[in-house]
Structure 1
Amino acid sequence: MTPQTTLDADLDEATRQALDADIEVLQQGARTWAHLTVGQRATLLRALRTSVAATAEDWANTAADSKGLDGRHPLRGEEWLSGPYSVLGALDAYVDTLAKLADGRFPLDGVAIGRAPGGRTRISAFPLNGLDRFLLSGFSGEVWLQPGITPNTARANAGLAQRTPDAPGGVGLVLGAGNITSIPVLDVLYELLAHNRVALLKVNPTQDALVPVYERALAPLITPGFLRIVRGGPAVGSYLTAHRDLVHVHITGSAATFDAIVWGQKPQATRRRRENRPLLKKPITAELGGVSPIIVVPGEWSDADIAFQAEHVATMRLQNCGHNCIAGQVVIMSSEWAQAEQFRTALRRAYAAAPERPIWYPGSPSRMQQAAEDYPDALVLADRLLVELDEGQDATAMQRTEYFAPVLGVVELPGTGQSFLDAAVAHANDELQGTLGANLLIDPVTESSLGTGFERAIAELRYGSIAINSWTAFGFITPTLTWGAFPGNTLDDVGSGIGVVHNALLLDGVERSVVRGPFRPFPRSLSPSGRRTILPKPPWFVSSRTGASVSAGLTRFRAHGGILLLLRTLLQALRA
C-alpha cells in the first residue's frame, strides 16, 4: 500500500462524504459563476467587502490571540494589516478592475505604461488613487512584464479570465497558508477572478480558530456555492489533491509539501522523479518562500539614517516572529563601507530591542535549534538569533535554509558603489535559495550617482518581488502588484513556486513587481534629495510605539471611512 493510499484510508466514510458533498455544491456553483456578468461579479464583491468589514475587528483579534499576542501586546497591529486590511484593499482593487471591464474599458485605462530595461514593459500599478498617494506618499510600485511583451499587448491582455467570463473554470483546491490570515482569502479571490474557478479552501490547522470568522466574512461567496471551507490535516489534503472533480491545486506552503503532493513520498517519489511521472494528475501553482536578501548599499548615512534602517532590517526579519515566506534572512553588506561597524552595532541594538513574542509556528523551535547548531557562535538576543558571519566562515546553511524563525544572518562582500551592488546582486541570485523577494537599501545620493547602473542591477535581480528602501511585504499588501516567484521554476525544481497571485489588474505575462519607498521618514524626508513622505515610522515597524493603534485605525478607515477617524489615526502615527 502506497503512502498516498494509507493517508486516504485514514479518512472515515463520513468525512469523505462531507467533502464530496462540498465538491458537488461547488460544481453547481461553477456553473452559476459562469452565468454571472462581470458587472454582477463586481456587485458581489461589494457585498463581500461589506461582510469582511463587519468582521475586521473579530478577525484581527482572533488572529492575534491565536499567535499568543495578548490584548496589550504592541505587535497586535500586525494582524490588522496582514489580515482584513489586505483583503479590503484587494476587494477595492478588483471591483475597480471589474467595473472598467463591465463598462467596456480596459483594466489599464488611466494607468501609466512605460519601458523597463531589457525590452520589458513597466506598469505603474501603485498608487492609482488620491487616497493612496496621500496616506502612502513616497511609496510606489511597478509590475514588470516578461521581455518582449509590448505595451499594446499588455493593455489588450489585461483582464485574464474576466475577458471571457462565461468560460467555466471548474472547481479548484486552495491549500491555505498557516502563517498569514489574509493569504487563504486572497488566493480564493485570485482563483475566482483570474481563472473563473470556484474554490474549495482547506485551511491550515494553525488557522482553525479563524474558520468561523472566515465563514461570516465570506458568506456572500459561500451561500451561492462559489466557496466551501474545510478543516483537516494531511489525510484530508491527500484525498482532495487526488480528487477527480477538482481541476487545479494552489498551495502556499513549503517546497517539501509541494514535492509530497506532486511526487508522493519516498522511495516512490525518487522513482517517479526519475521517470518524470508525477503522482499529481492536474495542474498546480504554488508560493513557497525562500531565503530573502537585504542588500545594504554603502553610502554616507547620518546617525538617524543608520538607526532607522537598522530598525527596518529588524522588522523584515521579526514581523510575525519571522514566520513569513518573505522575511528577510541574509543581510549583504560591504566590507569596505566606512560605516559598516556602526551599522552592525545599530542592527544588534534594534534586533535586541524589538518586543518579545512567542515562537508559535509549528516546527520553528526545531529550526531555531538547527540554526544554533549550524552557528554555535551566534549572538542570542532574547528570543532570536543574530549570526554575523566572518570572512571565510561557511554561510551555506544560512543562505540555503529557510529557517522560518527569528534567525538573521549578516555576510560581507568587498567593493563599494556599482562594483559592490553588482557583486551583491550576483551573490543573491547564485547563493541564496529561492526567488520570491529581495530587499535593497540605498541612500538617494548614492542611487543618483549610479545612474542607469542602478536600474540595470535591479533588472539583473532574479526575484518575483523587489523592494527598494522598503520591504517586499509592502508589495504583498498592495493588491495591484503581483506576488510569486520569479518565472522559470518547474515541477521537478519548484524553488519558490510557480505562478502569481494578487495581481488585481489581472495582468498577463508577469515577471516581477518592484516597490520603491522613501529612504528617510517624515520629517527628515523633507530634505532636498530623495522621496518625500508624510509617514514617520511606518506602523508595520516592530519598533513603532503606536503600530497597534495605527494599524487598527487604518483598517477601520479603509472599512468604513470617516475623516475624524483618519485624523486621529494620523496623529497616532506621528507619535510612532
Structure 2
Amino acid sequence: MEVTAAVDRVDPERWRATPPAERLRLLRLVRANIDRHFDELTSADCRAKGIDPADPADAHQVGTSIQRVLVPMAANVSAAIDLYEGLVRDRPLQPLAVTPAGDGRFDVRVSPRGKDRLLNSDRTDLLRVVGEPRRVDPYAKPGGIVAVLGAGNVASSFEMIRALFVDSCVVVHKPHHLNEDADRVWEKVLQPLVDVHAASFCPAAEGPALTRDPRLSKIYFTGGTASAKAIMEATDTELVSECGGNNPCVVVPGDRPWTEREIRHQALQIATIVTISGGSICGRTQTLVTSRHWPQRRQFLDAITVALRDLTPGSSTGYPGVDKTFEAFRDAYPGGRLIQPVDDRPASQVMVIEDVGTQGFALDHEAFCQVMSEVALDVAPDAGTFLPAAAEFANENLLGTLAATILIDEDTKKAHAATVDRAVTDLRYGAIGVNTMPPMIWTNPYLIWGGNEEGREFVSGRGNFGNLLGYENAEKSIVVSGFTSPGHLLMTNKRDWLDLSTRFARYAVRPTWPRLSALALAATRGLFRRAGRPDASRRGRRATT
C-alpha cells in the first residue's frame, strides 16, 4: 500500500473513541496471532540474518533471533493487556512504590510484577521522574497519526504498541528494507488492528514520502544518528528517536577481592552482551571503565578473554557496513587483540582494545559490531573515589547517552550505597543497569528506552519509548539486580540458549503457569550445565587470538 493510501486508511478519531473493552479484545487477538505465527516470524528473521535454523551450529543464533523478533512485541502486548484489564475493571494499574530520590526527583518502582517476580526476585525496576510523579491516562491524550519506522537490526516494531495503546494514536508502519519479510508476517499478526483502521503498512521504499506527510503527529524512529538528522531536516513533524551510542560498563573495584566465580560470571555476562547479534544491538556494552590500580584488573581482563574465546559461542557480524567499521577500529588500534571464539564461526572475531586512553577514536565512535575497548582510569581503586570519577568520565568523554552499566559486588554496594545512588543520578544516560545489562531495560514496557541528552548535541536521540504507565517527565530507567543473578544473560551453550530463548519468548507471549514452569526448567538446566562440563560441541578445540 503506497503512503497516501496507508495514511488515508487509518482513522485517529475512531481509535480514540474505541472503548477499553474493545481495545482489550483486539490485544488478545494480537496475542493469539503472535503465538500462531511464532515459527514464521522466527524463520523470516533468520532468513534476513543468514541463519540456518536446521544447522546445529546456528542454534544459538536462532535463539537470539527468537529473542530479537518476538520478545519485545510480545512483552509489550502482554503488558498492554494488563493495562487495559485494569481500565476495564476501573482499577488502573498502579506503581509498586514511589520514593524520593533527591534533587526533586522520584523513583517509581514499576516492575517486576505478577509472575515475573518469581523469575526476577532479586531485581528492582525503577522509572526516575523529575518533579512530582504525574500520569496521563491513554484516553486523556490527544491521539493523532504516528509513523513508526522499523529498525534494521530488529524486526519487531514494538513502538507500535506504545503509539496505539499508551498514546492512543493510530499507526502507519514502514519496515526497514532488511526486515520486509518479517514485516509481512507482522501484518498478519496485527490484522485485527488493520481491520479497525488503527494500523496500516507501507513499503520500505516509501520512507521519505511517509515522513513528509503533513497529517502525521509524530514519527517514531530507531536507527542511525545521521538518518535521524536527515529526517529532522526534511520535516517539521516531531521525531521521537533512539540512535545508539558508545555504552560504558563501569567496573567498580571491590572493598574485598572478587571470587573466581564472581569474576567468571561477570566475564560471561560481558562476553554475551558484547557478541550477541554480532554486536549489532544498540544497548550493548562497548567500553569498560576500570581503575588502573585495581589489583584484580589483569585477572578480570584475562577472564573476559577466556569467556570470549572458550566459553561463549561465536556470533556472526552481518549488519551492513559493520565490516568497514571493524576495519576502521583495526586501523586506529593496530595493537588491539583479535579473539576467535573456539567454534571458529565465520565473521565472529572479537576485537579487544585494552587501555585505550581517555581520548580517541574508540571513545568517539559507536562500533555496532564485535569491538570492545577498556579505559583504565588513573584513579584509586576504592568505590568512593573511583565511581564518581568514572561517572564523570563517561558523561564527558563517551559518545552518546543511551545506556550505562555499573558492576559492583553486594558488599561494596552496601558499604557505599550513597555513592552508588549519586552515580546513578549523575550518569547522564537514559538507561542505567546496576549489575545487569541495558537490553533488559529495552524489553521492559514499563520502563523507558532512549537517550538522555536534553540540551546536548543530538547523538542517541530525543524522547523515549515504553513508559506503559504514562508518567510525565520521565528522565531515565534504572534496573538493579544481584551481582551474580540467575536472571543474567549468559550464553555458554548453543542448544541451551535456543531452548531458553524459545521458552522465554513463549512465556512473554502468554505468561501462564505452565509456560513459566517450562522457562524455569530451561533456566535451571542451563545453570547446572554451566556449573559442570563445557559444551560438548566445543570441547577439546582451541582458537588463536
| Alpha-carbon shift at residue 566 of structure 1 (Å) | 4.1
Q: Which string of whole-angstrom CA distances, capped at 9 and with x for unpartnered residues, describes residues 198-220 of structure 1?
A: 11111001111202211111111
* CA distance, structure 2, for counterparts of residue 386 and residue 380 of structure 1: 5
* Mapped pair 1:390 → 2:355: yes
| Aligned counterparts of 2:140 and 2:215: Cα–Cα separation in 1 | 25
1: CA distance, partners of 2:455 / 2:314: 37
Say if 1:82 and 1:477, in contact at 8 Å, map to a contact too.
no
Give aligned pairs, total.
Answer: 509
Q: Does residue 1:412 correspond to 2:367, yes or no?
A: no
How far is 1:456 from its partner? Answer: 1.2
Q: 2:324 aligns with which of 366, 377, 385?
A: 366
* Alignment partner of 2:300 out of 319, 339, 343: 343
User: Given the alignment, which residue of 496, 503, 520 partners 2:460?
Assistant: 496
Contact 1:306 1:346 in 2 (8 A): yes
1:416-565 map, 5 Å: 416=381, 417-489=383-455, 493-522=457-486, 535=487, 538=488, 540-545=489-494, 546-560=496-510, 563=513, 565=515
Q: Deviations over 1:364-420 (max 9, x none)?
A: 1111111111111111112334333437x4642111101111111011012222111
What secondary structure sits across from 2:204 in the alignment?
coil
Q: Is the partner of 1:497 in helix, strand or coil?
A: coil
Q: CA deviation at 1:239?
A: 1.6
Correspondence for 1:89 = 75
Q: TM-score, normalised by structure 1?
A: 0.84
Give 1:489 shift.
Answer: 4.8
Cα distance in structure 2, aligned partners of 1:487 and 1:432: 13
> Does the CA contact (< 8 Å) of 2:148 and 2:219 recur in 1?
yes
Q: Which amino acid aligns with 1:117?
A: G
Q: 1:284 to 1:390 in 2, by over 3 A?
A: closer
Cα deviation, 1:301-333, whole Å, max 9, x if unaligned, reads 100111110111112211111101111100001
* 1:255-283 deviation per Cα after TM superposition (whole angstroms, max 9, x unaligned): 100111222xxxxxxxxxxxxxxx41221
**Cα distance in structure 2, aligned partners of 1:447 and 1:565:** 34
Q: Which among 365, 369, 376 is matched to residue 401 of structure 1?
A: 365
SS, match of residue 75 in structure 1: helix
Amino acid of the structure 2 residue aligned with 1:555: A
> Contact 1:94–1:504 (CA<8 Å) still a contact in 2?
yes
Does the 8 Å CA contact 2:69/2:155 hold for their aligned counterparts? yes
The answer on 1:191 being equivalent to 2:140 is no
CA deviation after TM superposition for structure 1 residue 564, in Å: 5.1
The answer to whether 1:142 aligns with 2:164 is no
- Residue deviations 1:428-472, cap 9 Å, x none? 110011111001100001111113122111111111100011001
Cα drift, residue 426 of structure 1: 0.4
Deviation of 1:286 after TM superposition, in Å, equals 0.7
Kindly indicate whether the alpha-carbon contact (under 8 Å) linking 1:375 and 1:387 is maintained by their aligned counterparts in 2: no
CA distance in structure 1 between the partners assigned to 2:416 and 2:468 by the alignment: 33
Aligned residue for 1:115?
A: 100
Cα distance between partner residues in 2 of 1:487 and 1:397: 21
Q: Is 2:240 aligned against 1:285?
A: yes
Q: What is the aligned-residue RMSD (CA, Å)?
A: 2.0
1: CA distance between counterparts of 2:405 and 2:88? 37
Q: Partner residue of 2:285?
A: 328
Work out the CA distance in 1 between the residues paired with 2:93 and 2:451.
Answer: 23
Long gaps (5+) in structure 2: 341-347, 527-545
The alpha-carbon distance between structure 1 residues 570 and 88, as it changes in their structure 2 partners (threshold 3 A), is same
Aligned residue for 1:76, secondary structure, equals helix
Q: Which residue of 2 aligns with 1:173?
A: 147
Aligned partner of 2:224 in structure 1 is: 254
Tell me which amino acid in the other structure corresponds to 1:217: V
1:144 and 1:510 in contact (8 A); partners too: yes
- Per-residue Cα deviation, 1:132-174 (whole angstroms, up to 9, x for no partner): 011222222100101xx224xx2xx242x4335xx4x332211
1:162 & 1:319 partners in 2: Cα distance? 39
| 2:15 corresponds to 1:33 | yes
Q: How far apart, in 2, do the equivalents of 1:542 and 1:32 lie?
A: 46
Contact in 1 for aligned 2:333/2:353 (Cα 8 Å) = no
- Name the stretch that deviates more: 555-564 or 467-476: 555-564
Establish whether residue 77 from structure 1 lines up as the match of residue 35 from structure 2: no
Distance in 2, Cα, partners of 1:191 & 1:489:
25
How far apart in 2 are the matches of 1:560 and 1:426? 42
The structure-2 alpha-carbon separation of the partners of 1:230 and 1:280, relative to structure 1 and needing over 3 Å to count, comes to: same
Name the aligned partner's letter for residue 171 of structure 1.
I
Q: Tell me, what secondary structure is at the counterpart of 1:250?
A: strand
TM-score (norm 2): 0.89
1:240 matched residue in structure 2: 210
- Match of 2:309? 352
Q: Secondary structure at the match of 2:122?
A: coil
Distance, in Å, in 1 between the alignment partners of 2:294 and 2:479 is 25
In structure 2, relative to structure 1, the CA distance for the partners of 1:262 and 1:515 (3 Å cut) is same
Distance 1:561 1:433 in 2: 38
Name the residue aligned to 1:267: none
Over 3 Å counting, the alpha-carbon distance change for 1:344 and 1:242 in structure 2 is same
Does residue 200 (structure 1) correspond to residue 172 (structure 2)? The answer is yes
Asked whether the equivalents of residues 144 and 169 of structure 2 are also in contact (C-alpha less than 8 Å), the reply is: yes
Name the CA distance, whole Å, in 2 between partners of 1:192 and 1:454: 37
Q: Distance in 2 between matches of 1:569 and 1:107?
A: 26
User: Unmatched 5+ residue regions in structure 1?
Assistant: 1-14, 264-278, 523-534
Mapped partners of 2:194, 2:455: distance in 1: 33
* Residue 44 (structure 2) aligned to one of 62, 65, 84: 62
Q: Is the 8 A contact 1:442 1:469 kept in 2?
A: yes
Change (3 A) 1:451 1:359: closer
Percent identity between matched residues is 26
1:481-539 deviations in whole A, cap 9, x for unaligned?
1111115157xx322111111111122110011011111245xxxxxxxxxxxx5xx4x
| 1:68–1:357 contact (8 Å) kept in structure 2 | no
Flag the 1:70–1:395 CA change in 2: closer, same or farther, 3 A: farther
SS at match of 2:446: coil
1:217 is aligned to 189
